[in-house]
Amino acid sequence: MCPMTDVSQRVEALVLPLRPQDAVECRQCEVHCDKVVYPSSCIARSCPFAYAYEEHGHTFIGCMQKIYEAEIDLDMLRAAERHREGFGAVKAMRLPLPMCRSRSSPATSTERGELGCVNPEFNELPVGSPTFRVFARLQ
């Protein structure tokens, strides 16, 4: 016989969020999924929220919106981008903006259950969010 607290904890673990697309991580099953962003695309796309500063003879970049919290050495990022694999992705700490190059990333793919993902909406775009940004209107 299970104590009542054990049963309620198991039921809470099965409850999906109301808008799973807005989450930056999913822990609904054994596979832990996170949304990730590619900082190199911030530079390539001239993101207006990218910032840079110099310290100790190095230039560091970051995100003013704190989509990712890391501040990255620009020389190391550029050196990594010259290789086939590129710099790679960092974990999104907030919901990526429409101009962010992002995707969801499972921590492991070998632990998926028989039914697959229990929260497939996590990988979708947020409902009602534009997939593009209007910055000028022609008349």
Pick from 92, 118, 138, 122: which is nearest to 22 by CA?
A: 122
Reference 133, options 95, 102, 99, 103; nearest CA is: 99
pLDDT at 68: 92
Per-residue pLDDT, 105:
75
Mean pLDDT score, 5-21: 53
The model's pLDDT over 125-135, given as tens digits with 9 standing for 90+, comes to: 555 555 555 56
Sheet strands (E) in the chain: 25-26, 33-37, 50-55, 58-63, 72-73, 90-91, 102-106
What is the average pLDDT score of the chain? 76
What integer pLDDT is reported at residue 20 of this predicted model?
A: 60
pTM higher than 0.85, yes or no? no
Beta bridge partners of 25: 34
Q: For residue 33, what are its two tokens?
A: 């999924």
Residue 27 — very low, low, confident or very high, per pLDDT cuts 50/70/90?
Answer: confident
Residue 62: name the closest of 82, 81, 39 by CA.
39
Domain boundaries, the chain: 42-106
Q: Tokens representing 39? A: 């900082």
